Amino acid sequence: MKKIFITLLIATVLVACSDSKQKDVEVATETIAANYDFYGEKITDKEVLSAEEMLAKYNSLKPGDTIDVKFRAKVNEVCQAKGCWMQVAIGDDTEAMVKFKDYGFFMPTDLGNEEVIMAGKAFVAEMSVDEQRHYAEDGGKSKEEVLEITEPKRTLSFTSSGVLIPKKQEVE
């Protein structure tokens, strides 16, 4: 009888704890949904690196290295064809190229100068001349600017699994 009582007590405590954690997650998700639009996987606005902290992480990477990270950055440019990539500022003169996991979601094309939160994988890559020219064309660069691209370059890259975009505050 004593064993049954102890087993029931433990089961009750475990159920109560898991239910409490589930409610905490639901409240956090509702709060984030009230303040942000979600793209891709649902992520939180907790434990987010600044753009400067992200730049320091990138500076420690070698080609082939990958890290999972969440950071905040200002969007400098978005693919104007359909929002399938974006360039974000992670320093005074440094940008990271952001693409979206499995080509599964896209950004609004009017997102320039907005600050967003992204979660995903950061890595360093070398971008070919053809790829650079493709992105320059998508970004609306002139034919002359596109033809000025003549050498591959080391790029800071990011594959995002989820993005939070702050909702615009309505002015009354």
For residues 32 and 111, state if they share a domain: no
Residue 139 placed within a domain? yes
For residues 51 and 122, state if they share a domain: yes
Residue 144 placed within a domain? yes
Residue 85 placed within a domain? yes
For residues 98 and 150, state if they share a domain: yes
Residue numbers of the domain that contains 19:
2-37
For residues 75 and 122, state if they share a domain: yes
Residue 20 placed within a domain? yes
Neighbours of 24 (CB within 10 A): 10
Question: Rounded mean pLDDT of 76-95?
Answer: 93
Do 150 and 130 meet the contact criterion of CB atoms below 8 Å apart? no
Tell me what percent of the residues of the chain surpass a pLDDT of 90: 66
Going by pLDDT thresholds of 50, 70 and 90, the confidence category of residue 46 is very high
For residues 18 and 48, state if they share a domain: no
Q: What is the mean pLDDT of the chain?
A: 85
Residue 67 placed within a domain? yes
For residues 46 and 22, state if they share a domain: no
For residues 55 and 10, state if they share a domain: no
Sequence letter at residue 67 = I
Query: Hey, what's the torsion of the CAs at 145, 82, 165, 68, to 10 degrees?
Result: -80
For residues 23 and 97, state if they share a domain: no
Assess whether pLDDT exceeds 60 at residue 7.
no
The tens digit of pLDDT for each residue in 105-137 reads 999 999 989 999 999 999 998 889 999 999 899
Do 117 and 72 meet the contact criterion of CB atoms below 8 Å apart? yes
Residue 157 placed within a domain? yes
For residues 93 and 15, state if they share a domain: no
For residues 143 and 58, state if they share a domain: yes
pTM of the model: 0.73
End-to-end CA distance of the chain: 65
For residues 97 and 134, state if they share a domain: yes
For residues 48 and 95, state if they share a domain: yes
Q: How many domains does the chain have?
A: 2
Which of 9-13, 35-39, 152-156, 162-166 comes out lowest in average pLDDT? 9-13
Residue 92 placed within a domain? yes
Going by pLDDT thresholds of 50, 70 and 90, the confidence category of residue 72 is very high
What's the CATH code of the domain at 63? 2.40.50.200
Assess whether pLDDT exceeds 70 at residue 158.
yes
Going by pLDDT thresholds of 50, 70 and 90, the confidence category of residue 2 is low
